[in-house]
């Protein structure tokens, strides 16, 4: 059974914009969501500029072999993501202006 994550990235950050949790499961989860944010915002045209994020789930205690597929929803600007193998999925809001928001770094014209 897959999980659906509804995440506001700001909830994981301190007043300086860094991940507020220093270690453990919460830190690993924050790292996962920031990696999805970075990959999605740094590669808006699907050109594989950033490595795909591997799925973190372990169905039946075995690592899922899927890679996260994601996009920015044009209606509400949330990052929508899913693992096409196991179905783990979610949305990430509050990513704009964070250290992992690479939309401003995109200077290529398409």
pLDDT in tens, 11-70: 999 999 999 999 999 999 999 999 999 999 998 676 777 789 999 988 888 999 999 999
Per-residue confidence band for 110, with pLDDT thresholds at 50, 70 and 90: very low
pTM higher than the cut 0.75: yes
Residue 91, strand partner residues:
6, 80
3-state secondary structure 44-100: CCCCCCCCCCECCCCHHHCCCCCECEEEECCCCCCEEEECCCCCCEEEEECCCCCCC
pLDDT at 109: 44
Joined tokens for residue 63: 């690592």
């Amino acid at each position: 059974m897959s999980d659906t994550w509804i995440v506001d990235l700001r909830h994981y950050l301190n007043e300086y914009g860094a991940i507020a949790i220093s270690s453990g499961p919460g830190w690993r989860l924050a790292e996962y969501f920031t990696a999805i944010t970075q990959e999605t915002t740094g590669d808006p045209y699907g050109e594989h500029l950033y490595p795909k994020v591997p799925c973190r789930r372990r169905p039946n205690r075995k690592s899922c072999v899927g890679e996260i597929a994601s996009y920015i929803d044009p209606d509400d600007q949330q990052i929508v993501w899913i693992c096409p193998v196991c179905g783990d999925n979610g949305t990430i809001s509050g990513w704009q202006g964070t250290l992992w928001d690479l939309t401003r770094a995109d200077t290529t014209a398409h």
